[in-house]
A and B are shown apart, each in its own frame.
Chain A
Amino acid sequence: DAGITQSPRHKVTETGTPVTLRCHQTENHRYMYWYRQDPGHGLRLIHYSYGVKDTDKGEVSDGYSVSRSKTEDFLLTLESATSSQTSVYFCAISVPQGAGEYGYTFGSGTRLTVV
């Protein structure tokens, strides 16, 4: 594996509380991503980063913020969690596959439940 870990693996939180999910990589890759996975929707991009302090919005960024102060860490924050944010969250890094090709390596996911 490319050395990508997510924490926590599971979390239950109450509506209205802030939540931060962490993604850590060990291989110094430039691009990092946060996706959420929901039945019937596949994987939807929340935010992504193309370098330290360089981030941009994805398809479903409302209610989420991100920070990347170091190459290896990409944090996703739910400022005030809502039940609609109950989901499985995946972090990914873009890894060269050789010959000009590339692909994502995903973490193991964080299952977040907002009650």
Chain B
Amino acid sequence: QQQVKQSPQSLIVQKGGISIINCAYENTAFDYFPWYQQFPGKGPALLIAIRPDVSEKKEGRFTISFNKSAKQFSLHIMDSQPGDSATYFCAAGVLNKFYFGSGTKLNVKP
């Protein structure tokens, strides 16, 4: 049973547009929700993370929106750039143990 469901599987966005990736979870014990960015041939790298006591967190062009009642969270990439083209993973977990979504491959067209 997949602990974290992520959509879409792939996404194409024009340069300057907004990229939105969505995730949902079931386990209400989860208390930390990070996002990771992965470039080809590399390991995933931590991008931004949020705790369930806040509804939004913004770092530069990246924003996490969190809806605790719906058990959903999303990543918004504002002013998307070709350099943002990568695979993005959401994760959810507790006590240093995380489950990952299946990933979204983002392609930002110039």
Contacts and interface: CB of A to CB of B under 8 A. Distances in A.
B49 interface: yes
Given A50-B96, A102-B96, A41 B42 contact: no
Interface string B32-62: 1010100001111110010100000000000
Contacts of B9: 40
A107 B32 CA distance: 21
Given A42-B6, A50-B96, 18 more contacts: A31-B96, A35-B100, A42-B89, A43-B44, A43-B89, A43-B100, A43-B103, A59-B99, A97-B46, A101-B32, A103-B34, A104-B46, A105-B45, A105-B46, A106-B43, A106-B45, A107-B43, A108-B41
Nearest to A100: B51
Contacts of A104: 34, 36, 44, 46, 98
A94 interface: yes
Main secondary structure of the interface of A (DSSP, over half): strand
Contacts of A108: 41-43
Contacts of B6: 42
B65 interface: no
A44 B96 contact: no
A48 B99 CA distance: 12
A90 interface: yes
Contacts of B99: 45, 59
Interface in A53-67: 59
A90 B45 CA distance: 12
24 contacts: A42-B100, A42-B101, A43-B89, A43-B100, A43-B103, A44-B100, A48-B97, A50-B96, A59-B99, A90-B43, A94-B96, A101-B32, A101-B49, A101-B51, A102-B32, A102-B96, A104-B34, A104-B36, A105-B45, A105-B46, A106-B44, A108-B41, A108-B42, A109-B43
